[in-house]
């Protein structure tokens, strides 16, 4: 009997198959469907810093308007109701998902700067989230802001969220930091319970006919997994935070690689958007089949077996590998 169980953010999970934040986790029915297909946990779609600050700014404006005239003014109360709409809808999704789900439900806060909006983490906790994923997607375009300022801001953000809530916090990171191990160590220090490797960046495409720059979302490809495996393998065993891999996990083999790199869980989104929720069931079946064939009895047994600290030749993860890879290329004869 194969034991697929794992632990992530201190939560016991029946397998490493987690559905990451995406529109497929956006309703109670979706969460039920994913659980039935084999999901061990789900991350709800994000609520955004901009949404939370916009709404609280709207409240400030309404309150000011209210004091300028009379608080009973007819326009005041509808505007006040609007203030909480996005937040209440989110908390309601969380509560109803928790009511029906037998698996952990993680909420997702998406923001880049420390500030009052992080207090929403407390409400997320009160609504019953088993954990909170903090997506820290930011885009540094101001040349006066150095990388260390950005990193310090991110660490401060995590510190503030940790101070608001007692549920475990996972930090979803971008791969584009100068030193991921240094940042990971700082996040460890402020108590991040998990590191989610990595966010995908969505660059706008150029429409050269209409001289327009427009957003474009493409789903991931399995090749995108490699950078995640690389950094998970380097970080494994060096940080207390547990590692989740998101980005390019499409098959059972990708899940196995993620675990062998040191991931507690492997998250799927694009693969399910491509192949439907039933793809998750196929991935789990193939996971079991492969483990049986290779005589593994548990996920724990293989975790970190291809991490930097476990492989006989750690140079594979270092600069030496870069040189070797470049020099291994042989030019093809042109016809």
How many chain residues touch ligand FMN (CB under 6 A)? 23
d(CA 314, CA 16): 25
Q: Taking CA 101 as the corner, what is the angle to CA 95 and CA 266, rounded to the nearest 5 degrees?
A: 110
Per-residue binding string, ligand FMN, 259-288, x by CB under 6 A, is: ---------xxxx-x---------------
List 23, 140, 204, 237, residue binding ligand FMN (CB under 6 A) = 23
Regarding beta strands 105-110 and 169-173, do their DSSP bridges make them parallel or antiparallel, or are they unpaired? unpaired
Q: Which is nearer to ligand FMN, 111 or 262 (CB)?
A: 111
Instruction: Give SS3 for 165.
Output: coil
Question: Which of 20, 28, 136, 242 is the binder for ligand FMN (CB under 6 A)?
Answer: 20
Q: Site for ligand FMN (CB under 6 A): which residue of 247, 262, 263, 304?
A: 247
Identify which of 104, 94, 158, 97 has the alpha carbon closest to the alpha carbon of residue 131: 104
Residue 249 binds to ligand FMN (criterion: CB under 6 A):
yes
Q: List beta partners, residue 298.
A: 3
Evaluate the omega torsion of the peptide bond into residue 198 and state whether it is cis, within 30 degrees of 0: yes
Closest to 44 measured CA to CA, from 19, 73, 71, 62: 19
Q: Which of 15, 108, 264, 284 binds ligand FMN (CB under 6 A)?
A: 108
Q: Is 241 helix (H, G, I), strand (E, B) or coil?
A: coil
d(CA 223, CA 143): 32
Residue 235 or 296 with smaller CB distance to ligand FMN: 235
Shortest distance in whole angstroms from residue 269 CB to ligand FMN: 4
Interaction pattern, residues 180-219, with ligand FMN; x per rule: CB under 6 A: --------------------x----------------x-x
Among residues 223, 232, 226, which one has the least CA distance to residue 197? 232
* CA angle (265 as vertex; 290, 28 as ends), nearest 5: 110
Instruction: Name the H helices within 70-193.
Output: 76-83, 85-100, 120-126, 147-164, 180-189
What is the closest distance, in whole angstroms, from the C-beta atom of residue 71 to ligand FMN in the complex? 36
User: At a CB cut-off of 8 Å and minimum separation 6, what does 220 contact?
Assistant: 200, 247, 248, 250, 269, 270
Looking at 6, 15, 21, 174, which residue binds ligand FMN (CB under 6 A)? Answer: 21
Give the other-Cβ count within 10 Å of 147's Cβ.
13
Which of 6, 51, 56, 220 binds ligand FMN (CB under 6 A)? It is 220
Which listed range, 15-23, 27-35, 140-148, 300-308, lies at the site for ligand FMN (CB under 6 A)?
Answer: 15-23
The site map against ligand FMN for 46-85 (x = CB under 6 A) is x---------------------------------------
Interacting residues with ligand FMN between 121 and 150 (CB under 6 A):
135
Among 6, 56, 246, 284, binds ligand FMN (CB under 6 A): 246
Strand partners, 246: 267
Cβ at position 221, least distance to ligand FMN in Å: 8
Q: What is the DSSP string of 249-264?
A: --SHHHHHHHHHHT-S
**Of residues 247 and 262, the one with the C-beta less far from ligand FMN:** 247
Site for ligand FMN in 300-319 (CB under 6 A): none
In the bound complex, what is the minimum distance in angstroms from residue 108's beta carbon to ligand FMN?
5
Cross-strand bridge partners of residue 41: 18
List residues near ligand FMN by CB under 6 A: 20-23, 45-46, 108, 110, 135, 172, 200, 217, 219-220, 246-249, 268-271, 273
């Amino acid at each position: 009997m194969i034991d697929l169980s794992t632990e992530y953010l201190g939560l016991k999970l029946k397998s490493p198959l987690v559905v990451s934040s995406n529109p497929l986790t956006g309703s109670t029915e979706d969460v039920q469907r994913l659980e039935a297909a084999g999901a061990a946990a789900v991350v709800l779609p994000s609520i955004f810093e901009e949404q939370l600050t916009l709404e609280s700014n709207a409240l400030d404006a309404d309150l000011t308007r209210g004091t300028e005239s009379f608080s009973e003014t007819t326009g005041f109360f509808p505007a006040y109701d609007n203030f909480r709409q996005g937040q209440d809808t989110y908390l309601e999704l969380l509560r109803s998902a928790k009511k029906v789900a037998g698996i952990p439900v993680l909420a997702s806060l998406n923001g880049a700067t420390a500030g009052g909006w992080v207090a929403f983490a407390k409400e997320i906790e009160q609504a019953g989230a088993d954990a909170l994923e903090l997506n820290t997607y930011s885009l540094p375009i101001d040349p006066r802001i150095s990388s260390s300022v950005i990193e310090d801001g991110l660490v401060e953000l995590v510190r503030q969220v940790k101070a608001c809530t007692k549920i475990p916090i996972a930090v979803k990171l971008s791969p584009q930091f100068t030193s991921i191990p240094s940042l990971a160590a700082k996040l460890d220090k402020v108590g991040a319970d998990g590191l989610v490797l990595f966010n995908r960046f969505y660059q706008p495409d150029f429409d050269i006919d209409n001289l327009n720059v427009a957003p474009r979302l493409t789903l991931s490809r399995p090749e995108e997994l490699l950078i995640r495996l690389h950094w998970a393998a380097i970080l494994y065993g060096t940080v207390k935070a547990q590692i989740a891999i998101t980005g390019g996990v499409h098959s059972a083999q990708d899940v196995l690689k993620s675990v062998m790199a040191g991931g507690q869980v492997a998250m799927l989104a694009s693969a399910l958007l491509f192949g439907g929720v039933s793809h998750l069931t196929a991935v789990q079946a193939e996971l079991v089949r492969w483990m049986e064939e290779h005589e593994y009895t548990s996920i724990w047994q293989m975790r970190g077996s291809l991490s930097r600290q476990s492989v006989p030749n750690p140079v594979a993860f270092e600069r030496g590998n870069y040189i070797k890879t470049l020099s291994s290329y042989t030019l093809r004869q042109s016809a």
